[in-house]
């Protein structure tokens, strides 16, 4: 992808299949950065992705604590419903969600079609079930003796969750945040479906459509745009890699 982005347009048009180039060019990156509202597309993607990460991990963590540490009616049924929610293909829900957010827009425009709120809400909804099941294992791995000791020291349930439990399951929270960020950042289906006419609310994947043309695609710009889209994901991954490794290993450190 990087090498194709650096190849001159003449080499790509000629079908040059060599995996290197002796005359690298940044013209493809210049064409991408010169797209109208490119900075706004980038900012919109960042707002949606970060909002989803914060909201989904927060709600999923609290839900995981509830279904793991507390006994209440229909707890098992709730877990089954969460599991079933992960089994439904996204494509099967796209049309119903379109009509749902169209109706939302009549009373709450901020989460209706053509608004970033619709993208944030739908990705939070799809990220939470996976995060709950993942965090449930981390929460269950924390010994009950720690909670009993915290209560003996006068800590309330909320204080225990905030000051003791959350730091212990932080690796799992980070792992969930990475998956939520990547799936939201790379989303094209919902962005194309929900953002119909408000171009100012389009996200970065939509900017790549500019270079898909009926007669000939601008593959150099497409590859350059893909490289630019990958950079924030790499930065986010590098920033949390230590926590992510321990989170994927299922480690809970005291």
Q: What is the pLDDT of residues 160-187, one digit of tens each?
A: 888 888 888 888 888 889 889 999 999 9
Euclidean distance between CA atoms 43 and 48, whole angstroms: 9
Does residue 12 have a pLDDT over 80? no
Does residue 251 have a pLDDT over 50? no
Domains within the chain, CATH numbers bracketed: 2-12+25-248 (1.10.3720.10)
pTM value is 0.85
Cβ–Cβ under 8 Å, residues 168 and 243: no
**For the packed helices 241-248 and 170-185, what is the interaxial angle rounded to 10 degrees?**
110
The per-residue pLDDT for range 132-154, each reduced to its tens digit, is 988 888 888 888 888 888 888 88
Cβ–Cβ under 8 Å, residues 31 and 221: yes
The per-residue pLDDT for range 49-79, each reduced to its tens digit, is 999 999 999 999 999 998 888 888 888 888 8
Cβ–Cβ under 8 Å, residues 205 and 229: yes
Euclidean distance between CA atoms 79 and 85, whole angstroms: 10
In this prediction, residue 109 has a pLDDT band, given cuts at 50, 70 and 90, of confident
The CA–CA distances, whole Å, from 25 to 28, 114, 126, 167 equal: 7, 36, 40, 47
Euclidean distance between CA atoms 31 and 47, whole angstroms: 24
């Amino acid at each position: 992808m990087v090498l194709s982005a650096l190849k001159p347009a003449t080499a790509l048009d000629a079908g040059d299949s060599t995996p290197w180039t002796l005359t690298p060019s940044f013209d493809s990156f210049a064409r991408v950065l010169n797209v109208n509202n490119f900075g706004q597309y980038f900012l919109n993607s960042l707002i949606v992705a970060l909002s989803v990460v914060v909201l989904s991990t927060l709600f999923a963590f609290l839900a995981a604590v509830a279904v793991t540490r507390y006994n209440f009616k229909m707890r098992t049924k709730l877990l089954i419903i969460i599991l079933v929610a992960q089994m439904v293909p996204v494509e099967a829900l796209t049309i119903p969600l379109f009509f749902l957010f169209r109706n939302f827009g009549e009373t709450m425009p901020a989460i209706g079609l053509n608004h970033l709120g619709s993208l944030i809400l739908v990705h939070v909804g799809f990220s939470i079930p996976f995060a709950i099941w993942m965090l449930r294992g981390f929460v269950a791995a924390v010994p009950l003796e720690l909670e009993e000791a915290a209560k003996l020291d006068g800590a309330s349930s909320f204080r225990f969750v905030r000051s003791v439990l959350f730091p212990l399951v932080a690796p799992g929270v980070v792992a969930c945040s990475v998956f939520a960020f990547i799936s939201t950042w790379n989303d094209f289906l919902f962005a194309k479906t929900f953002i119909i006419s408000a171009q100012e609310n389009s996200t970065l994947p939509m900017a790549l459509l500019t270079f898909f043309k009926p007669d000939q695609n601008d593959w150099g710009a497409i590859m350059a745009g893909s490289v630019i889209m990958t950079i924030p994901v790499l930065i986010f991954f590098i920033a949390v890699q230590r926590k992510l490794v321990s989170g994927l290993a299922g480690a809970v450190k005291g």
